A and B are shown apart, each in its own frame.
Chain A
Amino acid sequence: MSDTPILTITGLRAKVADEDIDILTGLDLTLQPGEIHAIMGPNGSGKSTLAKVLAGHPDYEVTAGEIVFQGTSIHDLEPDERARAGVFLAFQYPAEVPGVSIANFLRAALQARLEKDEEVDLFDFQDLLLERMELLDMDPSFAERPVNDGFSGGEKKRNEILQMAVLRPALALMDETDSGLDIDALQIVAHGVNTLRAENPEMTILLITHYQRLLNYIKPDVVHVMVNGRIVRSGGPEVALELEEQGYADWKTQEVVPA
């Protein structure tokens, strides 16, 4: 492992912009390049908030602490600047964009990464898209469909993985990617993530999940337990198995009594 972390979060506190109470309450987290970390926690623990804050969602405000991505603070960066720097958020609930095909959307996303006077070559793009879809065992006609418009839950998540495959982020944040998926869809999505990871072992992944079952398919290096806006335990894959057996109840109780 390299000594320079790709992501370092220290003492992070954050809240919904027009509310008073912090949802993240002093969170520390360090990810080395190529690692897969899982954050598990009960509903309301702040898992999804963490994902949105990292991606720069305008509804959230950082009140303390620091997020350093690839050696630079991203505090002042807009969501699009973070994306172009290499952060990718796979959404729990991806938005629909009627009338815009996945292919056109991805072309616009790649175009946004170029200088003003440069243009995405249409043929190169087609080749790239087809190659990426083949890698993920996807039918090329999928890219002609309007972004998430009328998609099933599984299709939406596959679309997120396809975007990840084309945009090749340095850091992928996967927010409850497993929610709402049946076992078949879950396996397909997990297979996609594993394929991308095998292709690019440097890609760092932060999995945010409520359930252990996703971790049967995507093996994390480190598992964190998050309760009330901070990490309360970190360890190997065994942590997930413990949680599976014992649930979050113990951790919640423990949190009531300050350490």
Chain B
Amino acid sequence: MPENELVEGFGLDEYQYGFVDEEAHVFRTRPGLDEDIVRQISKHKDEPEWMLEFRLKALKIYESKPMPNWGGNLSDLEATLDEIYFYVKPQDQMERSWDDVPDNIKNTFEKLGIPEAEQKLLAGVGAQYESEMVYHSLKEEWSSKGVIFDSIEDGLKNHPELFREHFATVVPTADNKFAALNSAVWSGGSFVYIPKGVELETPLQAYFRVNQERMGQFERTLIILDEGAHAHYIEGCTAPVYSTDSFHSGVIEIILKQDSRFRYTTIQNWSNNMYNLVTQRAVVEQNATMEWLDGNLGSKLTMKYPSCYLVGEGAHGEIMSIAYASDGQHQDTGGKVVHVAPNTTSSIISKSISKGSGRSSYRGLCKVYEGATNARSNVECDALLINETSRTDTYPYIEIEEKSASVGHEATVSKVGDAQLFYLMSRGLSQEEAMALIVRGFIEPIAKELPLEYAVELNRLIELEMEGSVG
């Protein structure tokens, strides 16, 4: 395989976590994808027959579906997919304690601040390194409450019935081409079950990291909240900078039973050669509340629309997202809310920032089925343009079949104004500091929802992004 080449000429504006560890994998498939590769993945994971069948069927569906011709530019993707490794297994077994984690992997985590995060009571760290969970801890009290926070592989092994009952019920294999791809080659991700009435106050936290050049990452996460359960799951991603295209296509499935409440927080900061095509969806039952808090930075192209299917009466879905498109990047993001049951409510708040030649698109669907009486939905999408060359588009799709439904949509586009800049500079802030402050203010309604250390990290990333935005 080619040498790892770091992209030249980037300041921190480009990518902060562009360090590369020496690769230490035990097994990986050859590049490209066919039935044999899928069989190898399943064999290596020692999976039951039904999962192999599931994967093979998914592969056929993937092959039969055309590339999407909407959203971002996927014309180079086909060639990329022929060259990537669909499965890389860095270690043979799961690690339980931090001391057992190999040093080079530990170094990576340390650069990402994982141990500190844990020290700060962010218990339950499950960190994904390449394609497997290598480090995983779970507070004992949670175990005693019956909470399951496992790698997806262990979920399948240790809780086969619970797993099979829910797996691929929220995102069916044939949902879209990349959901089918993920279904064929998925590896890594989390399996979470929160039992009836259990309320977790400390967030469950996973950190994802893609380290190997040309490696696709296909994490699969399945989260089940039983009746009345409350939890918050935090996932953050960083990837190092490589010169060839990389690919990430995850599937996140969440099931919220009656009266449960869940928040899924993601801050993704991919290197800017990454295709990031993710399907994340929640099915929300009676009087349950689902909240997606989604931050997308970096990547070459992100296509990601967190969804809430409100299937039970009184269900509530909320999608809050921030997208930051820098030079050469396209963030095609938004959200989908589907009202199926009466008295369901939803809100989408989307904030996008485009800098330089960056492009952000809001793409959202609000669908209200007949019979979803008194459904209410509100969509607000705001775009901020930093430079003259920056671009933003809005694609709201609204489909209402129910007369008593009430749906609101509001979109704004603003430019960083000269008057604002002069005002802030006349107080001593440099032009870059002034820009960063304006951007921070713009995303504040969403950033304030983040856990403190994530909000701080996000602000820092934005300050770094603003360097070189002037002139």
Q: With A58-B418, A95-B419 given, is the CB distance from A100 to B444 under 8 Å?
A: yes
Q: Which of A80, A82, A91 has the most CB of B within 10 A?
A: A80
B-contact bits for A66-107, CB 8 A (1 contact / 0 none): 000000000000111011100011010011111110001100
Let me know if A112 and B430 touch, CB within 8 A.
yes
Expressed in whole angstroms, the minimum distance between the Cβ of A170 and any Cβ of chain B is 13
B123 at the interface (CB under 8 A from A): no
B9 at the interface (CB under 8 A from A): no
B69 at the interface (CB under 8 A from A): no
For chain B, residues 405 to 456, give those with C-beta under 8 angstroms from any C-beta of chain A: 417-420, 422-431, 433-434, 437-438, 440-445
Expressed in whole angstroms, the minimum distance between the Cβ of A124 and any Cβ of chain B is 18
Q: With A57-B422, A79-B422, A112-B433 given, is the CB distance from A97 to B441 under 8 Å?
A: yes
Q: With A94-B423, A95-B417, A95-B420 given, is the CB distance from A80 to B429 under 8 Å?
A: yes
Q: Which of A58, A88, A98, A99 has the most CB of B within 10 A?
A: A99
The answer, among A59, A84, A97, for a CB contact under 8 Å with B438, is: A97
> Size band of the A side of the interface?
20 to 34
Let me know if A83 and B444 touch, CB within 8 A.
no
Let me know if B441 and A109 touch, CB within 8 A.
no
Let me know if B417 and A109 touch, CB within 8 A.
no
Let me know if A58 and B444 touch, CB within 8 A.
no
Please report the C-alpha to C-alpha distance between residue A210 and residue B224 in the assembled complex, in whole angstroms: 68
Mostly helix, strand, loop or mixed at chain A's interface?
Answer: mixed
CB-nearest residue of chain A to B441: A99
Let me know if B428 and A109 touch, CB within 8 A.
yes
A183 at the interface (CB under 8 A from B): no
Mostly helix, strand, loop or mixed at chain B's interface?
Answer: helix
Q: Given the complex, which residues of B lie within 8 Å of A59, measured CB to CB? A: 418
Q: Given the complex, which residues of B lie within 8 Å of A88, measured CB to CB? A: 426-427
Let me know if B428 and A97 touch, CB within 8 A.
no
Let me know if A97 and B445 touch, CB within 8 A.
no
Please report the C-alpha to C-alpha distance between residue A96 and residue B420 in the assembled complex, in whole angstroms: 7
Expressed in whole angstroms, the minimum distance between the Cβ of A147 and any Cβ of chain B is 8
Please report the C-alpha to C-alpha distance between residue A163 and residue B430 in the assembled complex, in whole angstroms: 17
The answer, among B419, B420, B426, B437, for a CB contact under 8 Å with A79, is: B426
Q: With A55-B426, A58-B418, A108-B437 given, is the CB distance from A99 to B444 under 8 Å?
A: yes
For chain A, residues 34 to 58, give those with C-beta under 8 angstroms from any C-beta of chain B: 55-58
Q: Given the complex, which residues of A lie within 8 Å of B427, measured CB to CB? A: 80, 83, 88, 105, 109, 112, 163, 167
Q: Given the complex, which residues of B lie within 8 Å of A83, measured CB to CB? A: 425-428
CB-nearest residue of chain B to A58: B422
Q: Given the complex, which residues of A lie within 8 Å of B437, measured CB to CB? A: 97, 100, 104-105, 108
Q: Given the complex, which residues of A lie within 8 Å of B420, measured CB to CB? A: 95-97
Please report the C-alpha to C-alpha distance between residue A113 and residue B429 in the assembled complex, in whole angstroms: 8
Q: With A80-B431, A108-B437 given, is the CB distance from A98 to B426 under 8 Å?
A: no
Let me know if A80 and B430 touch, CB within 8 A.
yes
Let me know if B428 and A80 touch, CB within 8 A.
yes
Let me know if A108 and B433 touch, CB within 8 A.
yes
Let me know if A89 and B426 touch, CB within 8 A.
yes
A146 at the interface (CB under 8 A from B): yes
Q: Given the complex, which residues of B lie within 8 Å of A82, measured CB to CB? A: 426
The answer, among A78, A79, A99, A104, for a CB contact under 8 Å with B445, is: A99
Q: Given the complex, which residues of A lie within 8 Å of B423, measured CB to CB? A: 91, 94-95, 97
CB-nearest residue of chain B to A89: B426
Let me know if A99 and B442 touch, CB within 8 A.
yes
Q: Given the complex, which residues of A lie within 8 Å of B441, measured CB to CB? A: 97-100, 146-147
A-contact bits for B382-423, CB 8 A (1 contact / 0 none): 000000000000000000000000000000000001111011
The answer, among A55, A89, A98, A112, for a CB contact under 8 Å with B429, is: A112
Let me know if B429 and A108 touch, CB within 8 A.
yes
Expressed in whole angstroms, the minimum distance between the Cβ of A210 and any Cβ of chain B is 21
Q: Given the complex, which residues of A lie within 8 Å of B440, measured CB to CB? A: 99-100
Q: Which of A89, A112, A163 has the most CB of B within 10 A?
A: A112
CB-nearest residue of chain A to B447: A99
Expressed in whole angstroms, the minimum distance between the Cβ of B444 and any Cβ of chain A is 3
Q: Given the complex, which residues of B lie within 8 Å of A55, measured CB to CB? A: 426
Please report the C-alpha to C-alpha distance between residue A241 and residue B430 in the assembled complex, in whole angstroms: 42
Expressed in whole angstroms, the minimum distance between the Cβ of A163 and any Cβ of chain B is 6
Q: Given the complex, which residues of A lie within 8 Å of B425, measured CB to CB? A: 78-80, 83
Please report the C-alpha to C-alpha distance between residue A88 and residue B438 in the assembled complex, in whole angstroms: 20
Let me know if B445 and A167 touch, CB within 8 A.
no
Q: Given the complex, which residues of B lie within 8 Å of A100, measured CB to CB? A: 437-438, 440-441, 444
Expressed in whole angstroms, the minimum distance between the Cβ of A112 and any Cβ of chain B is 4
CB-nearest residue of chain A to B438: A97
Q: Given the complex, which residues of A lie within 8 Å of B443, measured CB to CB? A: 99
Please report the C-alpha to C-alpha distance between residue A78 and residue B426 in the assembled complex, in whole angstroms: 9
Q: With A112-B428, A113-B428 given, is the CB distance from A98 to B422 under 8 Å?
A: no
Q: Given the complex, which residues of B lie within 8 Å of A108, measured CB to CB? A: 429, 433, 437
Please report the C-alpha to C-alpha distance between residue A57 and residue B424 in the assembled complex, in whole angstroms: 12
Q: Given the complex, which residues of B lie within 8 Å of A78, measured CB to CB? A: 425, 431
Q: Considering the complex of A and B, which 4 residue pairs feature the smallest CB-CB distances, nearest first?
A: A99-B441, A99-B444, A100-B441, A95-B423
Q: A98-B442, A100-B438 are in contact. List 20 more A-B contacts (CB 8 A).
A: A58-B422, A59-B418, A79-B425, A80-B426, A80-B434, A83-B425, A83-B428, A89-B426, A97-B420, A97-B437, A98-B444, A99-B443, A105-B437, A108-B429, A112-B428, A112-B429, A112-B430, A112-B433, A147-B441, A167-B427
- Spell out A's residues near B (CB within 8 Å): 55-59, 78-80, 82-84, 88-89, 91, 94-100, 104-105, 108-109, 112-113, 146-147, 163, 167
| 26 A-B residue pairings within 8 Å (CB atoms) | A56-B426, A78-B431, A79-B422, A79-B426, A80-B425, A80-B427, A80-B429, A80-B431, A83-B425, A83-B427, A88-B426, A88-B427, A89-B426, A91-B423, A91-B426, A95-B417, A95-B419, A97-B424, A97-B438, A99-B441, A99-B443, A104-B437, A112-B433, A113-B428, A146-B441, A163-B427
- Spell out B's residues near A (CB within 8 Å): 417-420, 422-431, 433-434, 437-438, 440-445
